A and B are shown apart, each in its own frame.
Chain A
Amino acid sequence: MEQVILIRFSEIHLKGKNKGYFLKLLYTNIKTALKEYKKVITPIQNRVVVSDYDVDDEDMIIREIKKVFGVYSVSVASVIPSTIEDITDFCAKLDISGSFKVDCNRADKTFPIKSNQMAADMGGVILDHCPNAYVDVRKPETVVHIDIRENGKTYIFDKIIYTYGGMPLGEYRDGLLLLSGGIDSPVAGFQMAKRGLRQDILHFDSYPYTSPQAREKVISLAKQIKNYIGCRYMYIVSMSKLQEEFHLHCKEEYAITLLRRAMIKVATILCERYNYKTIITGESLGQVASQTIESITVTNSMAGNYPILRPLISFNKDEIIKVAQEINTYETSILPYEDCCTVFLPQNPVIKPKIKIAEIEETHIPLSELIQKAIDEIIVIEL
């Protein structure tokens, strides 16, 4: 009997006229995710079916599909023709003990028996053939799902593996993710990708105040989230000169505020140059001094017309860590290499900075010139 992997979608069915576009995207993304595996991918009404794969690859294929946003759930199913006889035969051969129920979904309205009746009938068949089975519709140990599809085939399975849902990753890399090396920013990228935003990465480093290892760590983080966020390029911009200048000529407590403003400025310039439409950061309200609402206001004012998306703004640290562990970035993030922000760390960073003061401080150094110089020395890595 043929085994296939049945893929269901999340909210794409809500998309009305654009449904076709999103389905095509999703189909392409599934194809890309499985490009290393032997398989046949067939779209059917409201489902995608992966067949003719090597059974040994099954777990790996499911793992890859789970990373595709827009997929709602996955099941390994047996396929039989949609006839009453075939379905009955199949149910008669099932070996079930303990409590069970049958769940029937009749998408093919030409099938002569209605869902509820079909479920009851097949329950009867199973009861007849499995002496140790009994029906429990509330908390069954086994659920036999019978999915009668429009293509004349019926898919029968017992497990549904739920995935991240969300929207399929877009065709274009519209977002620029600021990736630091900490726990939060990879999660931020993941969260936005879940809503279909394909992103590239911008990292700020401070060599020689930080190690090449710190940079390597961020590159490996980028590779770890690549399959989720669909990135292709990673930009590295050195902030060392800017940090030195801020340190020497500006108010110490404003060092981080000014640095973050400069980072956002760099990001907007890159957005303009490479046609990104939004900036994504891992900020979470109140987590540190630079993430108070006042600090966010002061950095935000550098973004111009580009929206800064902060998907973690309402997340608690433990919630962020949970996602980081789920997407396997946590262990890399906690490696002890210093990231950009900690070198010229002031003793008492300002908690409620003011835009006016920041702007005055910025006049103490040739800011635009330094930012331009940093961008001129940009390193672009193809991931």
Chain B
Amino acid sequence: MNYKYFDNAATTRVKAEVLQAYNDACNEFFNPSSLYTPSLSVKNKIEMARESILRYLGGANKSTFIFTSCATESNNAVLRNCIKRKDKKYIISAGEHSSTYNTAKAMINEGYNIDFAPLNEDGSVNQEVLFSMIDRNTDFVSLIHVSNETGAINDIKYIAKRCKQINPNILIHSDGVQALHKIKLNMVNLGVDFYTISSHKINGVKGIAGLYIANPNKFTPFIYGGGQEMNLRGGTENFPAVMAFSKAINLPIMEYDTVRELKQTLLDNITVPYKLISTDKCVPNIISLCFKDLRGETLVHMLEVDGFLIGTGSACNSKNTANRVLTEIGVNQDYILGAIRISFETDCTKQDMIDLAYAINKNVELYYSKTKK
């Protein structure tokens, strides 16, 4: 079946030129750590890719960028690097991606003092409460840049600045997986110490992500090995994926106006009542919507039958566990199980959005007719 894809926050289609870069690199199979010339060529290309990504990110003077296997690894590496003392305080937001959130949960069980900053209604962090939580004993703050659930943007630049005013030694990490290609990034400007990005959310391949590190002296490896990645991350480099990543990151950034218009088209054409979580302050390519007394998961399957693939805000299970971030936001119980997430790129048309809206209208009504008495 030829599906219309509206789940780009989950993953994106690999662009042809990215795949080409990947395939080309597969022919150069040499281990970059070996001593012969073909290996050196591979090594040089990895370094050029690294430079290209660092340049794109606008890195600081001493900064570097390491390739990792996935954003989950990057986030784990940062938390394990920055949270080391049991007498210090650490803060992450309640809206973090599971890769940060569950790592923090595990570390709380190990005895570390990690607090969760609460969220606003759109899923961004409540700044006032966050600042009130920080004191001179706080060593580390980790905040998602753009919420993968709602698209809400955290003002990392302002938050980092304020945090460092309160405590100059504080280290700031931001998970920028959903921000990359959606917001123009400059690491110096943002003022972060660590920043996570991933390739497969920007039309790259899976199996490669990375971590921006402002000062490598403040980083100890999460994975030890044969000295790869400047001794900061062991493991034979995934050369084809590195080349594909470097290609993908240099693809054009999202056109805001076009995407905003597409979002508006969709919302204008949904006639069944819904609750919109993603406000105008969110990135327009992620739309979180809730329908009353409906199961988002069922709507996902119904839309699939009609040829539309969307994400669900909450994969409900027999225990009806609602989406964690939407729960933190305080979405009403009647709505929370009916959450869906629509995320798209500029490759879809207004007509696609209208078609999707109609399919939503039809299936929500169908759902109600079958489940309500």
Contact = CB atoms under 8 A, between A and B. Distances in A.
A338 B314 CA distance: 13
B342 interface: no
Nearest to B320: A342
B318 A209 contact: no
B39 to A, nearest CB: 37
A338 B316 contact: yes
B371 A208 contact: no
Interface residues of A, number: 16
Nearest to B297: A211
A336 interface: yes
Contacts, number: 38
B282 interface: no
A336 B305 contact: no
A336 B317 contact: yes
Most buried by A among B301, B302, B318: B318
B371 A344 contact: yes
Interface residues of B, number: 17
Contacts of B302: 208
B318 A338 contact: yes
A336 B295 CA distance: 15
A363 to B, nearest CB: 18
Centre residue among B298, B304, B319, B321 by max chain A CB count within 10 A = B298
A342 B318 contact: yes
Interface in B289-330: 295, 297-298, 300-302, 304-305, 315-319, 321
Contacts of B373: 247-248, 252
Contacts of A342: 318
B274 to A, nearest CB: 19
Contact of B317 (A207, A248, A337): A337
B216 to A, nearest CB: 40
Interface in B350-373: 370-371, 373
Nearest to A206: B298
Contacts of B321: 336
Contacts of A344: 371
B298 to A, nearest CB: 5
B181 to A, nearest CB: 29
B369 to A, nearest CB: 9
A338 B316 CA distance: 7
B318 A207 contact: no
Interface in A208-237: 208-209, 211-212
A103 interface: no
A168 B43 CA distance: 61
Contact of A247 (B301, B317, B318, B371): B371
B370 A244 contact: yes
Interface in B259-302: 295, 297-298, 300-302
A200 interface: no
Contacts of A211: 297, 301, 315
A339 B302 CA distance: 17
Contacts of A247: 370-371, 373
Interface in A4-37: none
B213 to A, nearest CB: 36
A185 B10 CA distance: 34
B298 A209 contact: yes
A71 to B, nearest CB: 37
B320 to A, nearest CB: 8
A330 B246 CA distance: 43
A210 to B, nearest CB: 8
A212 B305 CA distance: 12
A208 B301 contact: yes
A208 B298 contact: yes
Contacts of B317: 336-338
A57 to B, nearest CB: 32
A236 B163 CA distance: 57
B295 A209 contact: yes
A17 to B, nearest CB: 50
Contacts of A248: 370, 373
Nearest to A341: B318
A344 B298 CA distance: 12
B93 to A, nearest CB: 24
Contact of A207 (B301, B370, B371): B301
Contacts of A209: 295, 298, 301
B318 A339 contact: yes
Contacts of B297: 211, 338
Nearest to A211: B297
A208 B305 contact: yes
A55 to B, nearest CB: 35
B312 to A, nearest CB: 9
A336 B298 contact: no
Interface in B11-68: none
B303 to A, nearest CB: 9
A21 to B, nearest CB: 44
A106 to B, nearest CB: 58
Interface in B327-353: none
Contacts of A339: 318
A27 to B, nearest CB: 43
Nearest to B303: A208
B371 A336 contact: no
A341 to B, nearest CB: 9
B208 to A, nearest CB: 26
A343 B371 CA distance: 10
Contacts of B319: 336
A212 B301 CA distance: 9
A344 B315 CA distance: 17
A344 B304 CA distance: 21
B340 to A, nearest CB: 13
A248 B372 CA distance: 7
A344 to B, nearest CB: 7
6 contacts: A208-B302, A211-B315, A244-B371, A247-B371, A336-B315, A337-B318
Given A207-B301, A212-B301, 7 more contacts: A209-B295, A211-B315, A244-B370, A247-B370, A252-B373, A337-B317, A339-B318
Closest 6 CB pairs of A and B: A208-B301, A336-B317, A244-B370, A342-B318, A208-B302, A209-B298
Interface of A: 207-209, 211-212, 244, 247-248, 252, 336-339, 342-344
